[in-house]
Structure 1
């Protein structure tokens, strides 16, 4: 008879030394048989939502935390009944003595959420699964039962485990295909209490759209604020990621827990604002030549299939200007009392998401051609829209750009991304009366707002960088004089 043992899986450090994560959703139920590296949960760190793979192959005996619960790293979140291949554990129970020691040797060392290697040395293939809503999602000591739900709002005390639950005594479900939808649609469904399993998708290849969800609850045009990613406004209906909800009659205020990305961002902004002495300068320029260049590039065969925006050209101009003004690509190391000069540029692009502000960055952007930069910006945009930006993409930035112009804003005083010396805000491009060849003409005008850490960047250095950047955008031919 094959010996078995109960193993608890503790929440791993998902990167960047984060101390806690929120359980967003379980993808398995008690009694499910899972394979190694099968996705068992979605968890939200302070930076991103990530998928958590199973470190074991076995049967789920208990889900120790409910969706919506913030869990500290190292705390058990799920238990499995697994085979004890060393044969030292008593059947059906927890191993002890030598068996436990052997199990510890097999304990996966999960840092981040990469694949655990099989005995062959190759990563096991991930299988995306979705637990049926009829399954019992949490194992409890009898006779308490927990009503299942596809999505659960933060509530309740973590459920303690009782004795090991066997599939014979707990309804088991077989994994089935997860309904095809985008993260914004899943959020809308969650807000409206809709089970996507019951919705028929009318989109391409059965994709469930926002209209499908709205029609399921009886139609109606729900108010929504379009999600805007820095530089590239949302174009698909599914990109709407925030919902305006009318409060119940008589309700004068509501409270929302501060957690996840918003909590992390708030702490980072406070640290930045009260640690780095900010200085901000503004420059308003005629960008008509840049907008004309943009139109020519879009019509060019050489750039067919590439998505070009004003942000693309501004980002390229920033990378060129940094060559002559490297002090804006530095970091103040308080611990060693040193100024760190980067010899590369990881260009951050601020993005507004339903979970708060994130600043993913393009690694080694200074080595990219305009086409490569365009592709990288598009990939960054698509990934952020899908809510799949990884922690690696959110760390290591050296200088950032935020595009407030997509909201119709002309200028602002952006706060530095912690650890960076400068951040540039792009204002809206507006047609305005402007002096042109000693006459007043209607021109396309933009305001640049540059905030910098005055410990690292002197006013002269910041001004000259902004001046060179403005010169390139006012006359793209000036690039020839700067490279």
Structure 2
């Protein structure tokens, strides 16, 4: 009997998704929870696990096809016994390799939420795990190991093949501790950085202007959604942008000190971290800016005051601009904020940011300075009240203690929705951010 797997709504109300890559082909065996394809929605790239066991019968759409939510994308033959999937160690099927489990829901990969569990689950580490004659655990073929994007990046950096890592959790998801445990017996055996992959990138192809006059690139997925959102924001919210240039020499010194601090070892410490903390302090002193405008169904508009900060970080990716946010950033300590920023950036670079991570933002930071740009007039992320642009930090002549000296200087730009943020409030927030970056000890005195 064949079972069909339909394109799910992997976001909130999304109507379609593009199939980026198939991880299986007809004839392959699949198990409950195994990732079978990667799709791109209007918000993010998402991996789809299949919710039942069987053998792939047919892939209904090729890679690159945009499919409506609800359409069948793959059919799987679940009738009869499953054919052998070329196990690493040939052995008769053991009853204890799979065990009965109560019907329910189980966690799956980031971006897909949860899937209905079948009456069987994958073998767990321990007595239920098939063991070869030499005492090592059997690695089941055709099963993509489950791990969150930061864990995949950690494994890649440490040279660990996730297929060889035995998860310690019953749900089968590999953790950071599992990866570290896999390399602990022989830390010198795997290089920390895959240098050949980055040391000499292939030269970009040179296009002859005589041979190719134009190239047309379809606007879809994340780019299409971003374009529509920016148009809606620009023509809905009245934007006001204010600028301030500030001496951040003390902040740059603090960044170097924090990098050497043992409590911050292994964390992502850079100027953006302190800019984020400075903005959170400014919002705490001026909480009215964390708000949104609601037109209301009855035509009576309301300002919705947010007593929390979901801090968005604009990230440029190959698929377009995305703005994931750090939930409840206002409640995080500096090390916690650094950890959240590091995970957010790593996930965005891998293209695995989930739709949920890009929803519910209140205020955003866009770091245009990394491109050598001095400043800009950023457009609000839809539904948010303000966005802070951080320009390039440069050594410039500056009047310091009555004398012209070389100092590290940057320009900040704050755009805000003038329907709910007036000039006084916007100016106070921007001035507070600048004051903290000029004298970062205010992170303590103003907190």
Common fold by TM > 0.5: yes
- Indicate the residue corresponding to 2:269 in structure 1: 308
Say whether residues 1:388 and 2:369 are aligned partners: no
The answer to whether the Cα contact below 8 Å between 2:31 and 2:143 also exists between their aligned partners in 1 is: no
Task: Rate the CA distance shift 1:62–1:221 in 2: closer, same or farther, 3 A.
Answer: closer
1:269 Cα deviation from its structure 2 partner = 0.6
1:415-434 correspondence to structure 2 within 5 Å: 415-434=379-398
- Indicate the residue corresponding to 2:42 in structure 1: 46
1:459 Cα deviation from its structure 2 partner = 0.7
Question: What secondary structure, in the 3-state scheme, does the structure 2 residue paired with 1:410 have?
Answer: coil
Alignment length (residue pairs): 362
1:113 Cα deviation from its structure 2 partner = 4.6
Alpha-carbon separation, structure 2, partners of 1:46 and 1:15: 9
1:177 Cα deviation from its structure 2 partner = 7.5
Say whether residues 1:347 and 2:347 are aligned partners: no
Name which of 314, 321, 338 aligns with 1:357: 321
1:295 Cα deviation from its structure 2 partner = 2.0
Query: C-alpha deviations, 1:119-146, integer Å up to 9, x for none?
Result: 26x6898xxxxxxxxxxxxxxxxxxxxx
Name which of 35, 51, 74 aligns with 2:31: 35
The answer to whether the Cα contact below 8 Å between 1:115 and 1:124 also exists between their aligned partners in 2 is: no
Question: What secondary structure, in the 3-state scheme, does the structure 2 residue paired with 1:83 have?
Answer: coil
1:132-211 correspondence to structure 2 within 5 Å: 175=142, 204=191, 210=197
1:245 Cα deviation from its structure 2 partner = 5.5
The answer to whether the Cα contact below 8 Å between 2:234 and 2:380 also exists between their aligned partners in 1 is: yes
1:8 Cα deviation from its structure 2 partner = 2.3
Alpha-carbon separation, structure 2, partners of 1:481 and 1:466: 18
- Indicate the residue corresponding to 1:299 in structure 2: 260
- Indicate the residue corresponding to 1:402 in structure 2: 366
- Indicate the residue corresponding to 1:447 in structure 2: 411
Question: What secondary structure, in the 3-state scheme, does the structure 2 residue paired with 1:12 have?
Answer: coil
- Indicate the residue corresponding to 1:335 in structure 2: 296
TM-score, normalization: structure 2?
0.74
The answer to whether the Cα contact below 8 Å between 1:115 and 1:123 also exists between their aligned partners in 2 is: no
Name which of 46, 56, 59 aligns with 2:55: 59
Query: C-alpha deviations, 1:302-331, integer Å up to 9, x for none?
Result: 323322111101100111110121222111
Alpha-carbon separation, structure 1, partners of 2:384 and 2:77: 47
Name which of 9, 13, 16 aligns with 1:17: 13
The answer to whether the Cα contact below 8 Å between 1:25 and 1:41 also exists between their aligned partners in 2 is: yes
Query: C-alpha deviations, 1:357-410, integer Å up to 9, x for none?
Result: 011111111111111111111111111112211111111111100001111111
1:478 Cα deviation from its structure 2 partner = 3.0
Q: How well do the aligned residues superpose, as a CA RMSD in angstroms?
A: 3.1
Alpha-carbon separation, structure 1, partners of 2:123 and 2:58: 23
Alpha-carbon separation, structure 1, partners of 2:144 and 2:195: 14
- Indicate the residue corresponding to 1:94 in structure 2: none
The answer to whether the Cα contact below 8 Å between 1:52 and 1:113 also exists between their aligned partners in 2 is: no
Alpha-carbon separation, structure 2, partners of 1:293 and 1:23: 46
The answer to whether the Cα contact below 8 Å between 1:290 and 1:476 also exists between their aligned partners in 2 is: yes
1:283 Cα deviation from its structure 2 partner = 0.4
- Indicate the residue corresponding to 1:470 in structure 2: 434
1:466 Cα deviation from its structure 2 partner = 0.8
Query: C-alpha deviations, 1:91-118, integer Å up to 9, x for none?
Result: xxxxxxxxxxxxxxx9x9x994523312
Alpha-carbon separation, structure 1, partners of 2:123 and 2:378: 44
Query: C-alpha deviations, 1:263-311, integer Å up to 9, x for none?
Result: 1111111111111111000000111111122222223333233221111
Question: What secondary structure, in the 3-state scheme, does the structure 2 residue paired with 1:115 have?
Answer: strand
Task: Rate the CA distance shift 1:221–1:52 in 2: closer, same or farther, 3 A.
Answer: closer
TM-score, normalization: structure 1?
0.69
- Indicate the residue corresponding to 1:119 in structure 2: 119
Question: What secondary structure, in the 3-state scheme, does the structure 2 residue paired with 1:418 have?
Answer: coil
Name which of 54, 66, 70 aligns with 1:70: 66
- Indicate the residue corresponding to 1:187 in structure 2: none
The answer to whether the Cα contact below 8 Å between 1:63 and 1:78 also exists between their aligned partners in 2 is: yes
- Indicate the residue corresponding to 1:322 in structure 2: 283
Question: What secondary structure, in the 3-state scheme, does the structure 1 residue paired with 2:25 have?
Answer: coil
- Indicate the residue corresponding to 2:207 in structure 1: 246
Question: What secondary structure, in the 3-state scheme, does the structure 2 residue paired with 1:440 have?
Answer: strand
Alpha-carbon separation, structure 1, partners of 2:196 and 2:220: 28
Alpha-carbon separation, structure 2, partners of 1:211 and 1:15: 33
- Indicate the residue corresponding to 1:88 in structure 2: none
The answer to whether the Cα contact below 8 Å between 1:37 and 1:124 also exists between their aligned partners in 2 is: no
Alpha-carbon separation, structure 1, partners of 2:387 and 2:239: 10
1:335 Cα deviation from its structure 2 partner = 3.1
Name which of 3, 14, 27 aligns with 1:7: 3
